[in-house]
Amino acid sequence: MRVLFWGTPYFALPAIRTVARAGHIIAGVVTRPDRSRGRGRKASPSPVKRWAAARGYTVLTPEAPRGDAFLDMVRAIGPDISVVVAYGRILPRPVLDAPRHGSVNLHASLLPALRGAAPINWAIARGHAATGVTVMRMVTEMDAGPILARAEVPIGRVDTAALLSRRLSGLGADLVAETLARLEAGAVDEIEQDHAAATYAPKVDRTAARIDWTGESRAVGCLIRGMDDVPGAWTVWKGQPVKLFAPEPVEGGNVTGRQSAAGRDTWRESAAGRPPDPGRVLAADPRHGLVVATGRGALRIGEVLPPGKRRMESAAWLRGGGPRAGERFE
């Protein structure tokens, strides 16, 4: 089939590669306009544009995918179907209906769960045991169209949003190619979503990524993993933001490493069922890393990103002047 592919970030690259390898014709590519990126704030193309342009594909970069002029360009390409993977904009009905087989979308959740911009982040941050990918028929409502295919994967205890995104992009690419083959061969069953069961995954931002230490240790750890590596879960130490990564719940009060008396006393109170002191550093030993109290339990923090520095192991930060046992994250 002649495919008009829509996508922007790295997540979309496996899908366009797999569709092309499956023998479909990439008739054109639509991606977001060049954006200023990096410290120099120079305009640079999206990963999909860079890949497509290097292979000589026709690339469209509208500010908004609407209007008669843009619709005429889509029709001139003559696609049999539009395949949309993390494009980043809602498409109007005339654009969805322009290809003779309509438009399909790859979404990184098991719809109707986690509709919206950040399903991978929130699947981890909310403690889901599993997630997956869905290929759906596109409608004008966000992520609400009939389901053509789904595939599920478990979420591991150390999975981060970045790691899970890579797994889902590959799984989704294969599912898109399989769905196109089925559509080309004949009719595909389209299953309406249970809209009453829908949940939502809004775009993550700095506010969403702020760590609330009053939560239970597993929940705090899920948030940290769900925000890794962008935007990065953060807290405040001595008035400065610090991003934290690689959390591990501490089981049974097993805080290893050298501690101050304040750290030992805080841990004993928490373990004895007295009110905990969320955010208090329980252990800060360069040999064993950083352990922080939560509202229930504690977390060992494996990596940190202090302001103005690179991401590093927490032990390296402690050797270089990080927090001491008894101090507190806000």
Tokens 């990184």, located at residue = 108
pLDDT at res. 270: 46
pLDDT tens-digit profile of 239-254? Answer: 999 999 999 999 765 5
Which backbone phi and psi does 27 adopt, to 5 degrees?
Answer: -75, -25
* DSSP character at residue 116: S
pLDDT along the chain (330 residues), means of 10: 97 98 98 81 91 97 96 97 96 97 98 98 98 98 97 97 98 98 92 98 97 97 97 97 97 51 45 70 89 96 95 94 94
pLDDT at res. 37: 67
pLDDT at res. 255: 55
Cβ–Cβ < 8 Å for 172, 162: no
- Alpha carbon 280 to its chain's center: 29
pLDDT tens-digit profile of 148-172? Answer: 999 999 999 999 999 999 999 999 9
pLDDT at res. 39: 65
pLDDT at res. 36: 77
pLDDT at res. 268: 47
> Which residues fall within 8 angstroms of residue 262, CB to CB, at 6 or more apart?
325, 326
Q: Per the omega criterion (within 30 degrees of 0), is the bond before 112 cis?
A: yes
Tokens 């402690």, located at residue = 318
